Amino acid sequence: MSLFFAWRMSAIIEGISYLLLLFVAMPMKYMYGMPEAVSIVGSAHGLLFVVFMVLLAIVYLRETMTFKQCVVAFIASVIPFGAFVFDHYIRQRIPA
């Protein structure tokens, strides 16, 4: 498995965890009074985001992606569904 593929998979997993945090854990906290849902999912998402960023830095340092692409990847990671849109974009431009 290539490092670039591992980074892409981390982006997808991180994107899923972000959606779970926003659309499952947060409603559970505010609608049903279950703050532990945000604690659990938020912690997992935080760890996955750190892994994503470390792999992004490594991919950049190995010159697989340009600096501009890395900035766009970071911005996409903080927008709901952005990771999936960026994955589609980057797959077309960089062969795995």
Query: What is the enclosing helix (H) or strand (E) of 27?
Result: helix 26-32
Determine how many CB atoms are found less than 10 A away from the CB of residue 59.
Answer: 21
Express each pLDDT in 4-16 by its tens digit: 899 999 999 999 9
Domain ranges of the chain: 3-93
| Pair 24, 42: CB distance under 8 Å | no
Express each pLDDT in 9-57 by its tens digit: 999 999 999 999 999 999 999 999 999 999 999 999 999 999 999 999 9
CA–CA separation, 1 vs 56, rounded Å?
Answer: 16
